[in-house]
A and B are shown apart, each in its own frame.
Chain A
Amino acid sequence: NAGVMQNPRHLVRRRGQEARLRCSPMKGHSHVYWYRQLPEEGLKFMVYLQKENIIDESGMPKERFSAEFPKEGPSILRIQQVVRGDSAAYFCASSPGTTSGNTIYFGEGSWLTVV
C-alpha cells in the first residue's frame, strides 16, 4: 500500500514562473491537506480538501495560491508568479475521513526553490 505520493520532490523556478505541486493520497483516503514549512519555521496549515471540494482554505495566502482535488487524479497546489519568499517545503497529508482516530499521514514533501 503506497503512502502519500508527492511530486516533484524538488522544483526550481525563476521568479514570476508558475509552480505546480502534486499529491496522490493513500489508497482509500479522500481527505487531503497541504502544509508549508518555511526555513527555520514549523509546519503551517494551508488548505484542507475533499474530492472536488475545498473545506478549509484559511491558511492559504490570498493571492497567487490555489489548490484543487479533482474527482479523478491527484490534488494540485498551484503557485502563480512565484517569489523568493515562496521557497519552502510543501507537505501533503491525507486521511480516510474526519472521524477522530483517523491518523493523518504525510508525504515526503516537495521542496520549491525560487531563484
Chain B
Amino acid sequence: EDKVVQSPLSLVVHEGDTVTLNCSYEVTNFRSLLWYKQEKKAPTFLFMLTSSGIEKKSGRLSSILDKKELFSILNITATQTGDSAVYLCVKETSGSRLTFGEGTQLTVNP
C-alpha cells in the first residue's frame, strides 16, 4: 500500500514562531506532491510540487520537494492563530489517485 508519512503528528507553538512540517513518501508511480490545509471542513489547496529543489511560496507559507530523498517540507513563518489547522501532505500517483498522510495538527497559541 502507498504510504505518506507526516511528522510531527501534533505541534503546539506560540504566535510568531516558525514551524516546519515534514512529509516523506514512497516513490511508486509518483506524479506530484500536494499540501492541503484542513480546518474542520474541506481541505483547501496550498501547493503542488512536481520538481525537486524549486521552492514554492505563498505569503508566509513555503514548500519544497526533494525527489531524491523522497520528502517535502512545509514552512510557515511568523505563525498566527489562524494558521491553526491540520496540514495534509498528499501524494498524487499516475491515474490521479491521491494518498493522504495522517496530517499534522498545528495549534498556534496567542
Contact = CB atoms under 8 A, between A and B. Distances in A.
Contact of A33 (B41, B42, B96): B96
B96 A48 contact: yes
Contact of A45 (B32, B99, B102): B99
Interface residues of B, number: 23
Nearest to B6: A42
Contact of B100 (A31, A42, A101): A42
A26 B44 CA distance: 14
A43 B31 contact: no
Given A42-B88, A91-B42, A108-B42, A101 B50 contact: yes
29 contacts: A35-B100, A41-B102, A42-B101, A43-B98, A43-B100, A45-B97, A45-B98, A45-B100, A48-B95, A55-B95, A56-B97, A91-B42, A91-B43, A98-B95, A101-B32, A101-B48, A101-B50, A102-B96, A103-B45, A103-B48, A104-B92, A104-B98, A105-B45, A106-B36, A106-B42, A106-B43, A106-B44, A107-B42, A108-B41
Nearest first, the 8 closest Cβ-Cβ pairs linking A and B are: A106-B42, A43-B100, A42-B100, A42-B102, A108-B42, A98-B96, A106-B43, A100-B31
Interface of B: 31-32, 34, 36, 41-45, 48, 50, 88, 92, 94-103
